[in-house]
Amino acid sequence: MKLIAGVDIGNSTTEVCIGSVGEDGSFHFLSGASRMTTGTKGTLPNVHGIKSALLEALDKIRQPLSALDLVRLNEAAPVIGDTAMETITETIITESSMIGHNPSTPAGAGEASGYLLHLENIWKGKTGVPYIVVAANKFSYEEVAARLNQHIPELDIRGLILQADEAVLVENRLNKQIPIIDEVRHISRVPEDKLAAIEVALPGTGIRMLSNPYGIATLLGLNPEETRAVTPIAKSLIGKRSAVVIRTPNGNIRENVLPAGEIHFHGSRELSVNIDTGADSIMETLQKAGQIRDISGQQNTNVGNMLDRIKKSMTDVASDRDQEVRITDILAVDTLAPVEISGSLAGETCMEKAVGIAAMVKTKHLPMQKIAEKLEQELKVKAVVAGVEAVMASLGALTTPGTRLPLAILDMGGGSTDAAVLEENGTVRTTHQAGAGELVTMLIQTELGLGSRTTAEQIKKYPMGKVESLFHMRLENGSMQFFEESIDPGYYGHVVLLAPGEMLKVEEDIPMEKILEVRREAKRKVFVRNAVRALKIVAPEHDLRKISNVVLVGGSAEDFEIPEMLTEALAEYRIVCGRGNIRGTEGPRNAVATGLLMSYLSS
């Protein structure tokens, strides 16, 4: 009896399947395991993850590594995702020329404009001049309120800017109601004697004047050129409850414009498309270019720099010359990305149009043979590169109960979406498309402005709820869930992710409805679009109506909403679509590793 291992190296996970082959040709699946992929898919660091997964799978059947007779590896093509920005005008501000701010706990309501006056210099104020007072942390809220009350009768004080988070505490002690902005971290940047405008909206509403460039122009008396320069600040304040904008005419404003640039497709036809035209136009041009040899970007542009960076990051994969590193497919999706406004007081950002791109990078010879050789050295077990992912996934999908030939599969992983059609006569048509789970995570992180990629990954994987009392939460589908025991008070008022057996708090203050919209739209842009694109390539005569059923495999097929999205999208073509259940036990996972074992019998 021989022990054979099938190993599927994915962008996110490395999966293993162990089987035995008897002398009479009988075959039995014994165990499987999954571990995080170590290093970039298709590189030598993968060996560590492969070894860990093999040890786990063998431990389940109480066998040592030395018991293995053969390891069969998939062909691993790495896929790298990145974002390319639309044309961005970066306003570089010296002397804090124009600043936007959005504290979360303002006080009062309304808008006001006036000249900035530091609290310690309030005695220098002049009668008849409108002022907005600025108070640093060195003053307590009692002292701020007392000093203002002392000078309110003689000075025209119209607003207040605080460094501390104490707007409400000060407002409760003032003799006059004024709009108050707090949480200005870099208050030392606020220049004195300059004209400023502040606005605080009523609860449940957003500001109107300072989120409108013409509103800012009205309050600060800007000319048309200055109004254009302040537009990024106005955009950054849309939907906010409060804001402050400061004008310093002596500040130097200069613009540094880096064009978005063109993507060049080198295929059956040489075609180019400007990234400004958006994702739909990019993907249409890609299709018209035919069989792609390489994809490059216009030099000294956003997209050119991005594609160059992707190729350079693959130099550890390629032993060939740099020009042998090629991008053979991309998936482009429209998105929005936060861009920090230079000179801002509290790290304010402005949402700008962006194009998210997943690129499939290939070298002349993928170093899979080197991985096999290194495995042989470390494990003292023969290792071979045995099959193409999509073909192996098709064979593995056939172990799903209720399937038969002809069979179409969608293998949705972390970096790529593979599709294949396996005909009754044994012929297989396959395609390997860039873009899957990693791109979705990147889009969620970018559009929500999350600091942690881990949070974005969790948002992608788990449904949500909002804790509205210590005994109930509102779920994302609108229903209520009640608890017999009190919820941890630390979750109160927060959006939480409902992971198996625990709640994960989303630290960022983002409405649940916004997170839901971004999550679903990111999945539709990537998975639905890529599924249709891939299936059309492998379908007989490129006609989706000639595919009767599709089995979903891969890590992303385990998602709680992607299979339903795909079922809905493919329904118009009368395609039956559902999650696979590999070997009747593994769910949609382990299809490629299982297929590698099955292909051994026919090799």
Is the peptide bond preceding residue 540 cis, with omega within 30 degrees of 0? no
Q: For domain 393-446+514-588, give the fold.
A: Nucleotidyltransferase; domain 5 (3.30.420)
Query: Long-range contacts: 427-430, Cβ < 8 Å, 24+?
Result: 428/390, 428/391, 428/394, 429/537, 429/538, 430/388, 430/390, 430/391, 430/538
Helix or strand (DSSP H, E) at 114: strand 110-118
- Are the C-beta atoms of residues 458 and 493 closer than 8 Å to each other? no
- What pLDDT is stored for residue 318 in this prediction? 53
Confidence of residue 227 (pLDDT cuts 50, 70, 90): confident
Question: So what's the pLDDT on residue 88?
Answer: 38
**Where are the chain's structural domains?**
1-76+366-387, 81-87+259-361, 95-254, 393-446+514-588, 452-507
First to last CA, the chain: 17
Residue 326 pLDDT > 90, yes or no? Answer: no
* Residue 274 CA neighbour count, 13 Å, CB half: 7
Q: pLDDT for 245-291, tens place per residue?
A: 887 655 544 555 567 789 999 999 999 999 888 889 999 999 999 99
- The reply to whether 1-76+366-387 and 393-446+514-588 are identical in fold is yes
Could you please state the CATH topology (level 3) that the domain comprising 452-507 is classified under.
OB fold (Dihydrolipoamide Acetyltransferase, E2P) (2.40.50)
Chain segment 126-142, per-residue pLDDT in tens: 999 999 999 988 899 99
- Residue 418 CA, distance from chain mean position: 21
pLDDT at 517: 96
The dihedral sign for the CA sequence 465, 468, 469, 470? positive
| Chain centre to alpha carbon of residue 556 | 15
| Top-tier CATH class for 1-76+366-387 | alpha beta
| pLDDT at 578 > cutoff 80 | yes
Let me know: does 433 contact 329? Beta carbons within 8 Å.
yes
For residues 479 and 369, give the distance between their C-alpha atoms in angstroms, rounded to a whole number: 53
Q: Mean pLDDT: which of 80-84, 180-184, 405-409, 472-476 is highest? A: 472-476
Strand 180-181 and strand 156-162: the pairing is parallel
Q: What is the CATH number of domain 95-254?
A: 3.50.30.70
pLDDT at 453 over 80: yes
> Which tens digits make up the pLDDT trace of 63-122?
998 899 999 998 766 666 555 554 434 444 333 344 555 666 778 888 999 999 999 999
Q: How far apart are CA 279 and CA 260, in angstroms?
A: 13
Most confident of the ranges 69-83, 326-340, 374-388: 374-388
Indicate the pLDDT class of residue 476, thresholds 50, 70 and 90. Answer: very high
CATH 3.40.50.720 fits domain 81-87+259-361: no
